[in-house]
Amino acid sequence: MPLSFEGVLADRTTWRLDNCSIGRSMETIGTRSSMLILREAFYGTTRFDDFVRRTKIGDAIVAARLKDLTDIGVFTKQPYREPGRRTRYEYLLTEKGQDLFPAVFALMQWGNKHLQGEDGGPLRLVERGTGEPVVIGARTASGRDVVPEDLAIVAHGDWADPQRG
């Protein structure tokens, strides 16, 4: 089932990946609290108090995660004001945040299959209107489904230079 490495990457003993995109992504958004906040954002939550209530995470941690996620551009803050109250902010997913959709829902899909028993989890992702289950998976740019055995990892950019050292 492993992916294959091709080109300058074929001999894994000759290179190491210090700037791994998976590692950087996990450093950026890989905490449980960040993932629960992202889940809630995809479910439509935008206000701080609602993030706290729905994630059951303390105010300080939610505030820190929202600040971090806003600082890196996953959320944008927009002011709102209810009559007779002070100005507050709601948190809206940016394009960068919306691009996390497959990652968040792939985790839900995996958890439903492997952690929730035979019946799956309490929630399922389906196409609105048809009710057909949605499956998050690997697909080519042209839309063809692929499995790990079909895939190869190749060098990109400066990494594709065989003289890189």
Residue 112, φ and ψ in degrees, nearest 5: -60, -40
State the pLDDT at residue 93.
98
| Residue ranges, the chain, pLDDT below 50 | none
State the pLDDT at residue 1.
63
- Give the β-pairing of 4-5 and 88-93: unpaired
State the pLDDT at residue 17.
78
For residue 37, give the nearest of 89, 73, 74, 72 by alpha carbon: 74
φ/ψ bin of 157: left (φ > 0), alpha (ψ from -120 to 50), beta (otherwise): left
Question: What are the tens digits of pLDDT across the range 18-41?
Answer: 788 899 999 989 899 999 999 999
State the pLDDT at residue 162.
62
Distance CA 119, CA 68 (A): 36
Strand extents, DSSP E, the chain:
4-5, 75-80, 88-93, 152-153
